[in-house]
């Protein structure tokens, strides 16, 4: 009976041992699956970040090309103003030459008729004086137009030089940002490689630790094993909840980034519309006829144009400031999101280590 009892106890112990080994194998497989899912999620986030960086790089290049086209159009307009100024100078010389010829012709006629008709001489002298006044008025008007054209030309040259300076500064800023982007990309790649290596080392260490723990757990009682199993399941549930919370926060951040990007695009479109209206006003002022320029309405229109031009410039400056602020906000939120993601990753790894212990 004693031998039979010992045999039964041994068989019971063998069955219990096989059952425990089976449970441990199942737990091992579940652990491997969780590790694989975590690795796949990490790789997917890395891929998404890389794609997002490529899209931002392409958008920056397209904006730079649009600015280059605007500078080319402005240079062509400056050349056109130079040609118009030369035409006005030639017209002024022709008017001066005609005045000299007319004055000389009047003087010769006056010398021929002075001995015959004194009264006619006085009448001719008066007419000549009136014609001289008319010619002087015309000459002064032409001189004013030439001076105005010269002033407009100088103003256009000043605007062109200022835009050229802005373009050079923008080019320097673009190169600096490109270099910073490349440096950050390299750093990001190095950080990814370092994290992958650290994760791999941690997985190996955790597996070794788990193997040692497995050997120790074989001698522990069933009650302790059940308790640990319940605690492990609770921690896994907690980790899953934290993971879902992190994913929801990440989706919220991505939605905010999308909204900010749409606002930036809308403000850029408004800026382009303001620039287009400004160019239309300039073209409309250029196409005004000489008759429109001589009346009093011309001065009022020029004042209105100058006011609208200043308003457009102020609006463009405000739009650019808003775009810059939005970029700063997007940058800060991205940094905060990266910092939060690192904290969540560290917290998850600490929980995982505690679970292995």
Q: What is the pLDDT along the chain (357 residues), one digit of tens a residue?
A: 556 766 777 777 778 778 877 887 887 788 778 767 766 776 676 677 667 767 766 776 676 676 567 667 656 765 776 676 567 667 767 766 776 676 567 666 656 665 665 566 566 667 766 766 766 676 677 667 767 767 766 776 777 677 777 777 777 877 887 777 677 767 766 766 676 677 667 666 766 776 777 777 676 767 776 777 777 777 767 766 766 776 676 677 667 667 666 766 776 677 677 667 767 766 766 665 555 555 566 666 667 766 766 776 676 677 667 767 766 776 777 777 778 778 877 877 777 777 665
Question: Under DSSP, is residue 140 helix (H, G, I), strand (E, B) or coil?
Answer: helix
pLDDT of residue 287: 67
Note whether 75 and 163 are same-domain residues: yes
pLDDT of residue 125: 64
Give the whole-angstrom CA distance, residue 161 versus residue 235: 66
- Number of structural domains, the chain? 2
Final residue of a domain: which of 143, 161, 177? 177
13 in a structural domain: no
Burial pattern 72-83, b for ≥16 Cβ within 10 A else e, equals eebeebeeebee
Range of the domain at 126: 69-177
270 in a structural domain: yes
pLDDT of residue 200: 63
197 in a structural domain: no
pLDDT of residue 298: 62
315 in a structural domain: yes
Task: Please tell me the number of Cα atoms within 13 Å of 281 on its side-chain side.
Answer: 19
5 in a structural domain: no
Closest CA to 51 of 39, 40, 59, 63: 59
7 in a structural domain: no
pLDDT of residue 338: 76
């Amino acid at each position: 009976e004693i031998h039979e009892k010992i045999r039964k106890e041994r068989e019971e112990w063998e069955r219990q041992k096989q059952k425990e080994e089976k449970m441990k194998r199942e737990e091992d497989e579940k652990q491997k699956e969780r590790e694989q899912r975590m690795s796949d999620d990490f790789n997917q986030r890395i891929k998404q970040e890389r794609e997002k960086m490529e899209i931002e790089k392409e958008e920056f290049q397209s904006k730079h090309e649009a600015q280059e086209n605007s500078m080319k159009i402005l240079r062509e307009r400056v050349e056109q103003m130079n040609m118009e100024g030369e035409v006005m100078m030639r017209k002024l010389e022709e008017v001066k030459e005609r005045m000299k010829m007319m004055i000389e012709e009047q003087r010769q006629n006056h010398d021929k008729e002075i001995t015959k008709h004194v009264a006619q001489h006085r009448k001719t002298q008066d007419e000549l004086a009136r014609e001289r006044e008319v010619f002087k008025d015309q000459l002064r008007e032409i001189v004013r137009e030439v001076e105005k054209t010269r002033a407009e030309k100088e103003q256009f040259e000043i605007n062109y030089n200022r835009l050229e300076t802005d373009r050079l500064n923008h080019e320097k800023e673009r190169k600096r940002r490109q270099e910073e982007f490349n440096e950050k990309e390299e750093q990001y790649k190095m950080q990814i490689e370092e994290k992958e290596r650290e994760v791999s080392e941690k997985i190996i260490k955790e597996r070794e630790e788990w193997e040692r723990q497995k050997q120790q757990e074989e001698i522990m009682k069933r009650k302790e094993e059940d308790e640990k199993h319940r605690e492990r399941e609770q921690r896994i549930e907690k980790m899953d909840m934290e993971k879902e919370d992190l994913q929801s926060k990440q989706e919220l951040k991505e939605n905010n980034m999308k909204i900010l990007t749409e606002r930036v695009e809308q403000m850029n479109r408004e800026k382009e519309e303001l620039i287009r209206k400004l160019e239309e006003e300039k073209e409309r002022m250029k196409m005004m006829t000489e008759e429109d320029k001589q009346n009093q309405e011309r001065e009022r229109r020029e004042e209105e144009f100058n006011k609208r031009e200043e308003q457009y410039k102020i609006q463009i400056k405000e739009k650019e400031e808003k775009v810059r602020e939005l970029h700063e906000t997007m940058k800060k939120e991205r940094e905060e999101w990266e910092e939060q993601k690192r904290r969540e990753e560290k917290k998850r790894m600490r929980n995982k280590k505690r679970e292995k212990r």
